[in-house]
A and B are shown apart, each in its own frame.
Chain A
């Protein structure tokens, strides 16, 4: 946001200190960083920001602050103080958690009753519920349990003008009113500040086993993967790990321990002629390791699942032709993370080539992590959809003064 009139860091700091207390306000660079204690304080801060035209970014531990277009925030709302699991109705298999709770802390509490939010996001030890929901992150468990759209049953949000709004509720089945939480999920903090989230829960997977098959080229997984997804086996997770050197297919299945040997035999027959070996949990860290690569461009690529192996094979060919280093971790849902290391111009060209390829099968490419040298050469979001006008209108209605993460989202929303 351009410099608002009459804004000085000192004035802003003083004003916000009146709301959250001096000990919870500090200046970092050109921003005031503040830590509200509760929803009412978020609302007060937003009312002040809205009246003054100050850009606000809400954040947890900041693991994904670099995702999307950059925002110069005047106020950074740190949600770290709002980190409580407020309710775990374990017999109802629901919970209510404040947005600043880390994912791992929440899961540890839920595990006491053998339950979980069935999602495996990035950086669970540091990433907070609010941030994960704001970017709609998901991992390998999505194949079996769905994404956040399927796991969130309600939310409390604070709008730009300070309105505190509840949506959904604490029961799993509920069709009363619009599901605003679906609109908030993945909106990159452009429509409101997520304060509390209600989740539906699943039983922990007490017994699971992982099998891995290795092949020299991703195309060799095409037929076996199709056969697996067409079978009556219901894996929790299926992923492909692909690099220049080799490719691997990982399958994780959860179930009753005494049924697992039978499942293994069926899996072998379905994936024939691939050779399976039982592995540890470590393959499921691959997505995390990929995004942690220093200096790489990290792309989130979405494809229909039948095209995964073809897309990965083509990517390998292009990377070989251009002498690029790359790694990919693809879920059977069609969502992939790809890390590329190359000269900026070649990388930008590869992204555009991938976008053209994915467009054919309804897919998309979002550049999540971009080295600074490449920021200006690369469009983070790619071509905007035909719904951009409607999305802008929604943004206008929710945040008339464009104070919430202005410009960060698709089409510079």
Chain B
């Protein structure tokens, strides 16, 4: 049932954000009815576009007073429905809070508003040789506020860590409207690590309005190697050997034949034709990278690599990454429809899990393309299907869900970087027991006793038992070629 806000409530919201900061027209509200997981859509009752922390606070106070649910939103690139509006909610779009407030090179940090685009942080600090490490592939459009909500990762988090590794402090508007500071520029603020628990809470604990982030000095040298193997298994064995040799590359990625085929069709990355492609990126001092790269080449050779190349220029390196980052979006070239998953497994389970996925796919009469962050076991199986064939979508949904269960059964997780959101609520109940979930709820209730901050997300809902992850529908930004999904 769609909730209609009263004129008094709308007046209060207008007073909080100004007339140009309130959207209520149906055609405009439609823009906000989904995020990157476009098969779930709910029309919000209103959208507000605050420009200041005070305005966010005023909006949340209105919501708290009237017990109106609210959902905060950055660029809406999330892939799990985390920014999907709740029934009758107010969407708080932080797009207008997009200022980089401070850059402090002496302490290697920046202070930003939540609507700042991820890549803009790096752009701002590049002239002094720094970068912001978390690099979700939507980084050209996704916002830091959304990254904080999802604890976003990216290919380079193997070495540099996730968003939470880089968050020093947060200014947060609690669901009551109270403004608080979590953490500080200095480490180990006495008290509970509230910044730590807030990052990755998917908008369910409040709205962040200011974020203090670490920045990292760009290494002297970055080198990217491509190695072609007969199968993803051989590529996976090489990854294990690299790790066993005591190396910590900045990225370790694998693509299988289907994924290579799709990426080639889309961006012509000049990948070798093979059954399993391994991408290894090393960074550090020139002498160290050179020595380690020699070792990586040897390991690739001993595992039967048919071709080994190192990108010879920044342009070549960029092309290698372009192909990898376009892997999801390019699935449209080889299949009319597909479902994106984000399960994680212990790296050592890789050969067994890949074999099982293959056999499950064969059993379902479907194809599965595999693209994964091999270094940290984060799989992105893409279940390919054709909706126009009766029964195939159901089979694809079923297969996709069984793959998630396989990840959990293998000692892994249902999500490595996309979040639980709306999509995987039920799967969270498969991964955690009731007491685990009840303990998480203690935190939720301490922050948000009225359950108004992004309600009905993350946690399983009994009435939605049987929820299945949805088929992948390209986000409008992706279709327009503005963003890539990873």
Residues of A within 8 A of B (CB): 89-94, 114, 136, 142, 146-147, 149-150, 157, 159, 163-167, 169-180, 182-183, 185-187, 191, 202-204, 206, 226, 229-234, 255-256, 258-259, 262-263, 300, 302-306, 333-335, 358, 361-364, 366, 381-382, 384-391, 393-394, 396-398, 409-411
CB <8 Å contact, A232 and B220: yes
Of the A-B pairs whose beta carbons lie under 8 Å apart in the complex, a sample of 29, sorted by A's number, is A92-B346, A114-B246, A163-B435, A163-B439, A165-B439, A167-B440, A169-B412, A171-B344, A171-B411, A171-B416, A173-B153, A175-B200, A175-B419, A178-B444, A183-B197, A191-B192, A203-B247, A233-B285, A256-B292, A300-B188, A302-B189, A305-B106, A363-B186, A364-B188, A385-B181, A387-B194, A394-B442, A397-B446, A410-B190
Q: Which residue of B lies closest to A262 (CB)?
A: B287
Question: Which of B190, B247, B373, B412 has the most C-beta atoms of chain A within 10 angstroms of its own C-beta?
Answer: B190
- Using Cβ atoms and an 8 Å threshold, which residues of chain B touch A91? 240, 243-244, 347-348
On whether the beta carbons of B196 and A176 are closer than 8 Å, the reply is no
Binding site for A on B (CB under 8 A): 104-108, 129, 150-151, 153, 157, 161-162, 164-165, 169, 174, 178, 180-182, 184-194, 196-197, 199-201, 217-220, 240, 243-244, 246-248, 284-285, 287-288, 291-292, 344-348, 373, 376-378, 411-420, 424, 428, 431-433, 435-440, 442-447, 458
From A94, A177, A259, give the contact of B458 (CB < 8 A).
Answer: A177
In the complex, the answer to whether A234 meets B192 with C-beta atoms within 8 Å is no
Question: Which residues of chain A have C-beta atoms less than 8 A from B200's C-beta?
Answer: 175, 178-179
B218 touches A361 (CB 8 A): no
Closest Cβ–Cβ distance, residue B309 to chain A (whole Å): 24
Q: Chain A contacts of B188 at CB under 8 A? A: 136, 147, 186, 300, 302, 335, 364
Question: Are A385 and B346 closer than 8 Å at their CB atoms?
Answer: no
Q: Say yes or no: A361 contacts B186, CB within 8 Å.
A: yes
Which residues from A are CB-within-8-Å of B376? 171-173
Residues on A with beta carbons closer than 8 Å to the beta carbon of B414: 176
Most A CB contacts (10 A, CB to CB) among B377, B413, B419 go to B413
Chain B, Cβ-Cβ closest to A234: B284
Q: Are A203 and B180 in contact (CB under 8 A)?
A: no
Query: How far, in angstroms, from A411 to B458 measured CA to CA in the complex?
Result: 32
Q: How far is the CA of A269 from the CA of B447 in the complex (A)?
A: 51
Q: How far is the CB of A181 from chain B (nearest CB, A)?
A: 9
- Whether B436 and A165, one on each chain, are in contact in the complex, defined by CB atoms closer than 8 angstroms, is yes
Q: Specify the main secondary structure of chain A where it touches its partner.
A: loop
- Considering only CB atoms, which chain A residue lies closest to B345 in the complex? A171
Cross-chain contact of A226 among B106, B246, B458 (Cβ < 8 A): B106
Are A362 and B186 in touch, CB under 8 angstroms? yes
Cβ contact within 8 Å between A174 and B413: yes
Q: Which chain A residue lies CB-closest to B200?
A: A175
Chain B residues near A390 (CB, 8 Å)?
174, 180, 194, 446-447
Complex formed: what's the CA distance from A394 to B445 in Å? Answer: 8
User: How far apart sit A90 and B415, CA to CA, in the bound complex (Å)?
Assistant: 22
The chain A residue sitting closest to B344, CB to CB, is A171
- Complex contacts, B107 vs chain A, CB 8 Å: 304-306
Docked complex Cα distance between A7 and B402 (Å): 53
Chain B contacts of A306 at CB under 8 A? 104, 106-107
State the Cβ distance, A369 to closest chain B Cβ, in Å: 16
Given A146-B165, A165-B436, A387-B182: A232 and B219 within 8 A (CB)?
A: yes
Contact B447 A185 (CB under 8 A): no
Which one of B178, B197, B347, B433 contacts A178 once the chains associate, using CB atoms below 8 Å? Answer: B197
Q: How far is the CB of A240 from chain B (nearest CB, A)?
A: 16
Is B346's CB under 8 angstroms from A171's CB? Answer: yes
**CA of A59 to CA of B417, assembled, Å:** 35
CB-based contact B196/A177 at 8 Å: no
Q: Are B413 and A169 in touch, CB under 8 angstroms?
A: yes
- A149:B196 contact, CB within 8 angstroms: yes
* Chain B minimum-CB-distance residue to A203: B246
Contact B197–A179 (Cβ < 8 Å): yes
Q: Is there contact, CB below 8 Å, between B186 and A232? A: no
Residues of B within 8 A of A263 (CB): 285
B284 to chain A, nearest CB (A): 7
Contact: A232 with B197, CB < 8 Å? Answer: no
Q: Contacts A387-B181, A390-B446: A259 and B192 contacting too (C-beta < 8 A)?
A: no
Q: Which of A150, A163, A230 contacts B105 (CB 8 A)?
A: A230
Q: How near does chain B come to A163, taking the closest CB pair, in angstroms?
A: 5
- Whether the Cβ atoms of A178 and B344 lie closer than 8 Å is no
Which of B194, B220, B248, B438 lies in contact with A203, CB distance below 8 A? Answer: B248
How far apart are the CA atoms of A222 and B105 in the complex, in Å? 15
4 more CB-based (< 8 A) A-B contacts, given A333-B187, A358-B186: A171-B344, A171-B411, A171-B412, A258-B291
Instruction: Compute how far the CA of A361 lies from the CA of B218 in the bound complex, rounded to whole angstroms.
Output: 26
Residues of B within 8 A of A363 (CB): 184, 186
The 3 closest A-B pairs by CB, nearest first: A182-B196, A203-B246, A165-B439
Inter-chain contacts of A385 with B (CB < 8 A): 181, 189-191
C-alpha spacing A29/B446, complex, angstroms: 37
Residue of B nearest to A229 (CB): B108
Nearest Cβ in chain A — how far from B450, in angstroms? 13
Instruction: Return A413 CB to nearest CB of chain B, in Å.
Output: 8
Complex Cα spacing A226 to B128, Å: 14
Kindly report which residue of chain B lies nearest to residue A306, judged by CB atoms.
B106
Measured CB to CB, the nearest residue on chain B to A177 is: B440
Known interface pairs A89-B346, A91-B243, A174-B413; A180-B194 also in contact (CB < 8 Å): no
